[in-house]
Structure 1
Amino acid sequence: MTTPRQKKRLTAPREEIAWFPVIDPELCNGCGECMDICRPGVFGPALEVGAGRPKMTVMNPFNCVVLCTRCEPRCPSGAITLPAAADFEHFVELIH
């Protein structure tokens, strides 16, 4: 028997919660893996002029789902970091 997914609710307005990824442009190789994995559309190509593929940037930080960590381990160059989840757990409560 499978259990239904528990629903979550934020305890503060999303715009007041500083949970979002940061990309180190020195490490980013522009592969776009983050953009492919992120359903809410947090990432996009940076607007830069030059040869090669553009680096990625956090275009929509408040689209990031609080406590989601899917992008960080998928980044092959290790350019993505997220804040410590323990500092943000109080912003999410489970509802029944």
Structure 2
Amino acid sequence: MSGTPPPAKKKKRLLAPREEIAWFPVIDAELCNGCEACADFCRPGVFEPGATYESDGVVRRPKMTVANPYNCIVLCTRCEPVCPSGAITLPRPEDFERFVEYVD
């Protein structure tokens, strides 16, 4: 360990209104197990449980939904690895770099 602090993380400034930037996760309902790990992890509140449903006469845990897509922070990918079932996917970051400017 060198004892020097890591470089400061730069802040992002959006170059377009957030509602015009289609950066948000998509949940594959077939893979989602309703564990709510994404909702527990995501501070901006992008995820919420969907409606409870019944299958084969058994009430099942609700699948998660992207209830507030524009709360998602553009270029954030931290929720994807949190999902134990791999149900969350995000767009390619390279396609959205043009919407972000990095500032000190």
Count of equivalent residues:
96
Aligned to 1:37: 41
TM-score by length of 2: 0.86
CA RMSD of aligned residues (A): 1.1
Q: What letter corresponds to residue 19 of structure 1 in structure 2?
A: W
Give me the identity figure in percent.
68
Q: Which has the larger radius of gyration?
A: 2
Segments of structure 2 that go 5 or more residues without pairing to the other structure are none
Segments of structure 1 that go 5 or more residues without pairing to the other structure are none
1:18 partnered with 2:22: yes
1:57 partnered with 2:61: no
1:88 partnered with 2:96: yes
> As a proportion of its length, which structure holds more strand?
2
* Structure 1 segments (4+ residues) deviating >2 Å: 1-5
TM-score by length of 1: 0.93
Deviations 1:29-64 (A, max 9, x none): 000010011010000000233212111000000000
